[in-house]
């Protein structure tokens, strides 16, 4: 998730682009760049790694870049580390080094999204004499537009339409063509883009906050549509190149809530971004109906793995706890799950046939980084599952699988957690396939079932009001227990942490069968016991543990899959979620628990996004 902006009008573009990018920095902040054109002179590209302020300093607040037409970008790296070469804008010519400076080539552009078939397109362009200076998917798609533009001697819109037909993935693209000074061409599929016209000038942005200062009337360009933008004018085109009408929409949000896309908090916004985060992560892992980890680890290496050790902290450790059940059950490979803060001081026994998997959203968590270094120093094979490209853990691990959750602002992780789960399920499926633990039918069935998760999360989010109603009833709760068995217990761990993190309610996750060995002494009138019941063969067992709590005065909330309607007979409140394969139930069951914690925190008037005593990335021991 990057932020893109564009402007063409009477005013100097660069200061306007910088100010708009500032409003989009929550979308990505590892590098930034602009391309600005002064009349029909060549466009000038300036890039800078790190925070946006580095670009502002480099261009003296934009004043060093003359011209009234320009495009800008703030990056969240997905393809290629956050370097000068990989920063946007990118150009269509065979530029040297990072393509900064005057743009000789036909097309210069910025992009937000993920081009899934970029490798195949790059091979096609290499065969047609193109060279590449960056590792980005964006440079590929800009060169593809240039390829069609030159090969068929067609206009920008036709070249863009040919690109859209040929490209798989998501994109919001802004392009400037050398032959069309003062004009910006855009194309969109799945990634957000809005266009605003005010006082004879035109603005483009990934999101409302960037242009709210200039206009509240915006155009939402549709999927697989393109547009030609001139000062104070915009023309929309469909995939056949026919001009189409789009009616403007009036924005009613204030600037602050606009950054949250109209949501009250980043956490609830990110909860609603989970379907896309899972979709993007699956998109990067699945090729032609199969999980493709060939860029990360070879089948031979996977086949030789005799055991897996998962090391992480907090919610990432909870992903590990779920993965343990799934990998052992699916692939028959023994799994240990270790707290990084403990693992780093343990006497590690070198085991060439073991794989150490380190999970981290930030990629900077001190304990997990130290555990990685410890494992490497013992010659252990390491694989990291990370959300931040170029982060320390990503750079130091032998192999990396990236989650595609985009920047996560709220301290309490939600969409990154869900994307991590998907990566671990993909690893489990690949281990099971190469070890012959799954038939190819079973394998394909599970891979397609995994691809139903985004839509099922959307269905759960449609039902969020029930959870909101229940949370309002319980805003005075002091103690809670989340209980479950097997994979459900691992789900409880994350549900309970979410509750503690943002609502400050004392909450414990407990293996349901353990309760009667002591902890049930804490159960009394008014205690809320949340039972997770998604594993068919364990439902009766967990229900009887819940009934034992009921007998001691507890109030029971159950979370189970559609169809298990008998459960509500012994529960005070039941939440149903769509069915999926038992291994993947955790991807769905966590969503109502995130919502429960969120609505309880809101009902207590707490700072949901920045809870007390916590940091988004714990870089100290
Ligand atoms: C989760 O909501 C918390 N932010 C925290 O437990 C977090 O999961 C933990 O600090 C690990 O962070 P990481 O995934 O960035 O390594």
Q: Rounded distance, CA 157 to CA 183, Å?
A: 12
Tokens read off for 370 = 């130290």
Ligand 1 centroid to Cα of residue 529, in Å, is: 25
Question: Residue 253: its pLDDT value, please?
Answer: 66
Pocket lining: 502 vs ligand 1, CB cutoff 6 Å: no
Q: Rounded distance, CA 531 to CA 554, Å?
A: 12
Q: Rounded to the nearest 10 degrees, what angle do helices 585-603 and 415-434 cross at? A: 170
Summarised one tens digit per residue, pLDDT across range 320-355 is: 999 999 999 999 999 999 999 999 998 887 788 999
Pocket lining: 341 vs ligand 1, CB cutoff 6 Å: no
* Between residues 346 and 245, the one the model is more confident about: 245
Summarised one tens digit per residue, pLDDT across range 399-449 is: 999 999 988 889 999 999 999 999 999 999 999 999 999 999 999 999 999
Ligand 1 centroid to Cα of residue 496, in Å, is: 14
For the cut 80, the answer to whether the pLDDT of residue 360 exceeds it is yes
Question: Residue 130: its pLDDT value, please?
Answer: 95
For the cut 80, the answer to whether the pLDDT of residue 236 exceeds it is yes
Listing DSSP states for 486-508 in one string gives THHHHHHHHHHHHHHHHH--EEE
Pocket lining: 314 vs ligand 1, CB cutoff 6 Å: yes
For the chain, the average pLDDT equals 94
> Which runs of consecutive H residues, i.e. helices, occur in 452-538?
453-462, 464-473, 487-503
For the cut 70, the answer to whether the pLDDT of residue 256 exceeds it is no
Confidence of residue 255 (pLDDT cuts 50, 70, 90): low
Ligand 1 centroid to Cα of residue 391, in Å, is: 15
Summarised one tens digit per residue, pLDDT across range 552-599 is: 999 999 999 999 999 999 999 999 999 999 999 999 999 999 999 999
Question: Residue 190: its pLDDT value, please?
Answer: 84
CB 142 within 8 A of CB 109: yes
Residue 314 CA, closest ligand 1 atom number: 6
Residue 412 CA, closest ligand 1 atom number: 2
For the cut 80, the answer to whether the pLDDT of residue 96 exceeds it is no
Between the two ends of the chain, the Cα-to-Cα distance in Å is 30
Question: Residue 23: its pLDDT value, please?
Answer: 87
Question: Residue 29: its pLDDT value, please?
Answer: 79
Residue 420 CA, closest ligand 1 atom number: 14
Pocket lining: 413 vs ligand 1, CB cutoff 6 Å: yes
Ranges assigned E (strand) in 210-283: 217-220, 225-230, 233-237, 243-244, 249-250
Pocket lining: 611 vs ligand 1, CB cutoff 6 Å: no
- Stretch among 78-82, 312-316, 464-468 having the lowest mean pLDDT: 78-82
Q: Of 267, 310, 313, which is best to mutate to test ligand 1, by the most ligand atoms within 8 angstroms of its C-beta?
A: 313
85: which DSSP letter?
Answer: T
SS3 string, 138-168, reads HHHHHHHHHHHHHHCCCCHHHHHHHHHHHCC
Of 360, 368, 274, 263, the residue nearest 609 (C-alpha): 263
Annotated catalytic residue 616: yes
CB 202 within 8 A of CB 17: no
Ligand 1, atom 9: nearest CA belongs to which residue? 314
Pocket lining: 501 vs ligand 1, CB cutoff 6 Å: yes
Pocket lining: 316 vs ligand 1, CB cutoff 6 Å: yes
Summarised one tens digit per residue, pLDDT across range 164-173 is: 999 988 899 9
The catalytic position among 51, 287, 473, 616 is 616
Q: Rounded distance, CA 136 to CA 139, Å?
A: 6
Of 376, 373, 358, 357, the residue nearest 302 (C-alpha): 357
For the cut 90, the answer to whether the pLDDT of residue 39 exceeds it is yes
DSSP three-state, residue 29: coil
Q: Under 8 Å CB-to-CB from 502, ≥6 apart: which residues?
A: 267, 411, 412, 597, 598, 601, 606, 608, 611
Summarised one tens digit per residue, pLDDT across range 98-124 is: 788 888 889 999 999 889 899 999 999
Task: Give, in degrees to the nearest 5, the angle at Cα 574 between 570 and 576.
Answer: 130
Annotated catalytic residue 313: no
CB 472 within 8 A of CB 445: no
State the average pLDDT over residues 38-50.
94
For the cut 80, the answer to whether the pLDDT of residue 290 exceeds it is yes
Inter-residue long-range contacts of 566-573, CB under 8 Å, 24+ positions, other chains counted: 567/533, 567/539, 567/543, 570/543, 570/546, 571/531, 571/546, 573/470
Residue 368 CA, closest ligand 1 atom number: 16
Strands 107-115 and 528-533: unpaired
Q: Under 8 Å CB-to-CB from 217, ≥6 apart: which residues?
A: 196, 197, 198, 248, 249, 250, 251
Residue 153, number of CB atoms within 10 A of its CB: 9
Question: Residue 549: its pLDDT value, please?
Answer: 97
Cα separations in angstroms, 519 against 374, 523, 570: 36, 8, 21
Can you state the percent helix, strand and coil of the chain, rounding each to 5? 40, 25, 35
Pocket lining: 414 vs ligand 1, CB cutoff 6 Å: no
Tokens read off for 44 = 């000038």
Ligand 1, atom 10: nearest CA belongs to which residue? 314
């Amino acid at each position: 998730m990057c932020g893109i902006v564009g402007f063409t009008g009477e005013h100097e573009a660069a200061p306007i682009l910088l100010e708009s990018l500032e409003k989009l920095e929550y979308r990505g902040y590892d590098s930034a760049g602009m391309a600005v054109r002064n009349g029909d002179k060549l466009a000038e590209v300036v890039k800078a790694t790190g925070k946006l302020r580095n670009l502002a300093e480099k261009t003296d607040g934009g004043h060093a870049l003359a011209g009234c037409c320009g495009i800008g970008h703030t990056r969240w790296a997905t393809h290629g580390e956050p370097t000068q070469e990989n920063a946007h804008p990118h150009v269509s010519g065979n530029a040297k080094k990072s393509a900064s400076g005057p743009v000789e080539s036909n097309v210069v552009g910025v992009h937000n999204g993920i081009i899934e078939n970029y490798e195949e397109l790059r091979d096609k362009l290499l065969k047609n004499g193109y060279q590449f200076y960056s590792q980005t998917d964006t440079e590929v798609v800009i060169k593809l537009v240039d390829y069609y533009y030159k090969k068929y001697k067609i206009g920008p819109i036709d070249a863009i339409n040919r690109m859209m037909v040929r490209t798989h993935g998501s994109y919001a693209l802004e392009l400037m063509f050398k032959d069309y000074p003062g004009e910006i061409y855009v194309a969109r599929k799945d990634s957000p883009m809005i266009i605003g016209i005010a006082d004879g000038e035109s603005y483009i942005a990934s999101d409302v906050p960037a242009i709210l200062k200039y206009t509240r009337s915006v155009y939402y360009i549709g999927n697989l549509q393109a547009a030609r933008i001139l000062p104070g004018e915009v023309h929309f085109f469909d995939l056949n190149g026919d001009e189409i009408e789009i009616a403007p929409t009036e924005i009613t949000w204030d600037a602050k809530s606009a950054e949250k896309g109209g949501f009250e908090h980043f956490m609830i916004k990110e909860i609603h971004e989970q379907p896309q985060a899972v979709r993007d992560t699956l998109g990067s892992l699945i090729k032609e109906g199969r999980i493709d980890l060939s860029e990360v680890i070879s089948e031979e290496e996977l086949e030789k793995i005799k055991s897996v050790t998962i090391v992480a902290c907090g919610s990432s450790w909870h992903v590990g706890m779920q993965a343990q059940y799934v990998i052992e059950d699916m692939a028959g490979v023994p799994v240990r799950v270790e707290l990084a803060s403990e693992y780093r001081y343990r006497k590690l026994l070198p085991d060439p046939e073991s794989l150490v998997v380190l999970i981290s959203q930030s990629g900077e968590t001190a304990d997990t980084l130290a555990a990685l270094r410890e494992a490497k120093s013992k010659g252990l094979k390491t694989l990291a599952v990370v959300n931040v490209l170029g982060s320390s853990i990503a750079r130091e691990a032998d192999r990396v699988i990236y989650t595609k959750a985009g920047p996560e602002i709220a301290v309490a992780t939600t969409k990154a957690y869900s994307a991590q789960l998907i990566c671990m399920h993909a690893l489990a499926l690949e281990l099971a396939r190469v070890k012959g633990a799954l038939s190819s039918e079973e394998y394909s069935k599970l891979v397609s079932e995994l691809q139903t998760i985004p839509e099922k999360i959307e269905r759960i989010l449609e039902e969020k009001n029930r959870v909101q109603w229940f949370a309002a009833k319980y805003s005075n709760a002091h103690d809670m227990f989340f209980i479950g068995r097997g994979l459900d217990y691992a789900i409880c761990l994350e549900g309970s942490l979410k509750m503690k993190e943002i609502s400050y309610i004392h909450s414990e996750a407990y293996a349901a069968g353990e309760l009667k060995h002591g902890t049930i002494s804490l159960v009394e009138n008014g205690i809320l016991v949340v039972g997770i019941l998604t594993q068919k063969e364990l439902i009766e067992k967990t229900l009887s543990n819940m009934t034992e709590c009921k007998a001691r005065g507890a109030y029971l909330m159950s979370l189970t899959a559609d169809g298990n309607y008998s459960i509500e007979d012994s529960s005070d409140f039941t939440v149903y979620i769509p069915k999926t394969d038992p291994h993947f139930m955790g991807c769905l069951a966590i969503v109502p628990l995130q919502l429960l914690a969120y609505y309880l925190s809101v009902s207590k008037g707490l700072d949901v996004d920045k809870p007390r005593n916590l940091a988004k990335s714990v870089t100290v021991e």
